[in-house]
Amino acid sequence: MPVTQSRAKAVEPMYELGNLALMSNAIEHEAGRQVHDQALMIASALQSTLDLDKLIEIFSMEVKSLLPHSGITFTYEEDGKEISHGKSSRHRCSYRLVVAEQALGQLTISRSRPFKQNESMLLEYLLCGLVYPLRNAIMYKHALTAALRDPLTGVNNRSALNAAMVRETELARRHKTPLSVIMMDIDFFKQVNDRYGHLAGDFVLRSVADAVSNCTRCSDIIFRSGGEEFLIVLSNTDTKGAMQLAERVRKTLASHDYHYGEHHILVTASFGVACFRAGESSDALLEKVDRALYDAKADGRNCVRFTAEQS
């Protein structure tokens, strides 16, 4: 099996891995019984978690006794995730991992001195014990993500909202940082469904979610909290910043042309804004922003309203 090593940019062949019997027999033959037993213990340790970050950390820690290294990096291209432990160094072994024709990502292990032929072969055998736990961790991550995503719009769903609100209010309380929320509701959405059909309504919901995403920062969290209702959680954002964002989103929606087939659909939304106050619960903050949204609807819709009322 060829060695993948370079001082600068690593070559990245693809390896179909996962044969633990091959790993066991090969290690015992090449390195002896003691190393063989250590490798099996490593494979067992890798079964202890479904957390992707923790899995890479365990692999790095466990193989150091057999293969000393200074850093390890795993990159999963599908969602752009990169996990690194330790410090990247000059010499590297890098592999694109595949099991059962499923690409799992790229793993790179590095250190200051070159890897010997037998060390590179040992790493390839050890990777046989990593790939199935790695695949399980990736599948588990996908399942968690799907459970917290709205399948129509791709933004977070109501289940994700409840947990996020508790977390964000606790962080704001602990660090004494501002926290704001925006609640928005598409105006007269029922009329869109009644006049143009539910597929047109789905198109509008997706378009609105995309528009909101384009207006917000990476740190802002967007949720579809109801049928045509969205909520944006803004950490480290005061009243002024939240009002400016709500107004920017409102203008963006109102000025955009929504064409579904031959239909031109007018889309506006109403917005409520509220800010967290020390001592408030996450439920109290949601009730406050809901009242602000109610005020926006009562004032004619397609507007932004703020409430400072404390529950």
Q: Is 230 helix (H, G, I), strand (E, B) or coil?
A: strand
Whole-angstrom CA distances from 14 to 21, 102, 158 are 20, 11, 40
Comparing 308 with 95, which gets the higher pLDDT?
Answer: 95
CB under 8 Å to 214, separation ≥6 — which residues? 252
Comparing 143 with 87, which gets the higher pLDDT?
Answer: 87
pLDDT higher than threshold 70 for residue 14: no
Express each pLDDT in 199-214 by its tens digit.
999 999 999 999 999 9
The fraction of the chain above a pLDDT of 90, given in percent, is 64
Domains of the chain listed by start with CATH number:
14-147 (3.30.450.40), 158-306 (3.30.70.270)
Comparing 147 with 311, which gets the higher pLDDT?
Answer: 147
Tokens in use for 220? 């802002």
For 256, half-sphere exposure in the C-beta direction (CA atoms, 13 angstrom radius) is 19
CA angle centred on 278, ends 274 and 283, rounded to 5°:
55
- For residues 276 and 288, give the distance between their C-alpha atoms in angstroms, rounded to a whole number: 9
- Distance between the two ends of the chain, CA-based, in angstroms? 67
- For residues 311 and 305, give the distance between their C-alpha atoms in angstroms, rounded to a whole number: 17
- For residues 254 and 101, give the distance between their C-alpha atoms in angstroms, rounded to a whole number: 47
Residue 87 pLDDT level (bands cut at 50, 70, 90): very high
User: What amino acid is encoded at 279 in this protein?
Assistant: G
Least Cα distance to 185 among 256, 310, 260, 289 occurs for 289
Express each pLDDT in 16-37 by its tens digit.
444 555 555 555 555 555 566 7
Least Cα distance to 184 among 108, 273, 117 occurs for 273
Sheet of 102-111: strands edge to edge? 14-16, 91-99, 102-111, 71-76, 81-86
pLDDT higher than threshold 70 for residue 299: yes
The interaxial angle of helices 117-147 and 52-63, nearest 10 deg, is 160
Residue found under tokens 């909202």: 161
The fraction of the chain above a pLDDT of 70, given in percent, is 87
Active-site positions read 228
Residue found under tokens 């004032």: 299
pTM of the predicted model as reported, rounded to 2 decimal places: 0.65
- For residues 65 and 56, give the distance between their C-alpha atoms in angstroms, rounded to a whole number: 16
CB under 8 Å to 62, separation ≥6 — which residues? 41, 42, 45, 46
DSSP secondary structure string, 74-117?
Answer: EEETTTTEEEEEE---SEEEEEEEEETTEEEEEEEEEESSPPPH
